Structure 1
Amino acid sequence: MTDESYDQSLLSDVLLPVADEDDAERSARALEPYGPERVTVLHVVEKGEGVPDKTPVEQSEEIAAAAFEATRRTFPDADDRTAYRRDVVEAILDVADDIDASAVAFRPRDSGRLARFLSGNRTTRIVTEADRPVVVLPKGEDG
């Protein structure tokens, strides 16, 4: 992110990472009141790198397509990106850099202590490793 980019508004070009259709719908609804100028929705397909993938690629691509459509119900002009990586946080930050996002916005997902330990607590990593503002959206009444 260059120094000139600080002239843009915080929500001029938001990267919105989503996990699935439900998460995309809830995340888009949570972001909508803030009136972002441009939204790029990102779905990361976790690749195993030497171990079996969590879901087959075709199924992951279907999940991504449903998530993109769910986001477009709120943001019809949203761009979409799919990243194939083992490290989800690294993928999010790399795409944010690629599109020169003004901010990364997301809704934290519920997870137990063990899941946070095993995943390296992605929320903490996004917030602490990002080189641009990170907006943590409220969960809202639905979750």
Structure 2
Amino acid sequence: MTDLMARPVVPVASETDAENTYEVIEPYLDADSKPVLINVIEKAGGGIDKASVEQREEVAEASFDVFRSLAAADGVSVETEIRYGTDIADAIEDAAREFDATAIAFVARGGGRLVEFLSGSVRTKLTTENDLPVVVLPRT
């Protein structure tokens, strides 16, 4: 384990994302690592939400379960946190500060330059408008 990965905040969006993320982050963790998994439930900010909050909380908990079971097999314990907000990157940053994280570590989820430009990519915001260490893990 590196000091950078002693207590990372690790965003996960789905069961598949949790499995992929664990596969990539596992070599950097050990029994002394204390990752904090986070799932941000994006609120539409006055618009219509895509799914109910309850449905999205179920997805978050299922994601946590996948990561937690893989980590437990390697002797790594994790904390989990569901956050709510209109800005995913801000919610991740806030969690990292509150949990005294050593880094924010995530697997980039794709999307071309046009999508990134139009959506104000979470990845871009975390890596360019953030003063915390960020580890962008390779996609599997």
- Would the TM-score normalized by the shorter structure come out above 0.5? yes
The 3-state SS of whatever aligns with 2:109 is coil
Counterpart of 1:84 in structure 2: which amino acid? Answer: Y
* Structure 1 segments of 4+ aligned residues over 4 angstroms from their partners: none
The answer to whether the aligner puts 1:59 opposite 2:55 as a matched pair is yes
Work out which of the residue numbers 71, 78, 90 in structure 2 matches 1:75: 71
CA offsets 1:78-123 (integer angstroms, 9 cap, x no match) = 1000010010000000100110100000000111344322320221
Q: Which moved more, 1:90-99 or 1:36-45?
A: 36-45
Structure 2: gaps of 5 or more residues: none
Separation in 2 of the partners of 1:121 and 1:47?
A: 16
Tell me which residue corresponds to 1:3.
none
Structure 2 distance, partners of 1:119, 1:92, is: 17
Q: Which moved more, 1:21-30 or 1:8-17?
A: 8-17
Which shifted more, 55-64 or 73-82?
Answer: 73-82
The percent of aligned pairs where both chains have the same amino acid is 41
Instruction: Summarize deviations over 1:54-88 as a string: whole Å, max 9, x none.
Output: 22101100110111001112223210000100100
Find the counterpart in structure 2 of residue 17 from structure 1.
11
Q: Which residue of structure 1 aligns with residue 122 of structure 2? A: 122
Question: Alpha carbons of 1:17 and 1:138: their partners in 2 closer, same or farther (altered >3 Å)?
Answer: same
Q: Residue 14 of structure 1 contacts residue 105 of structure 1 at CA under 8 Å; is this kept in 2?
A: yes
Give the AA of the match of 2:11.
Answer: P
2:26 to 28, 32, 37: 32
SS at match of 1:118: helix
**TM-score, with normalisation over the residues of structure 2?**
0.89
Which whole-Å CA distance do the structure 2 matches of 1:132 and 1:74 have between them? 27
The total of aligned residue pairs comes to 133
Q: Which runs of 5+ in 1 are unaligned?
A: 1-7
Contact 1:127 1:134 (8 Å CA) reproduced: yes
Counterpart code for 2:8: V
Taking only aligned residues, the RMSD between alpha carbons, in angstroms, comes to 1.5
The residue aligned with 1:98 is 98
TM-score w.r.t. the length of structure 1 is 0.87
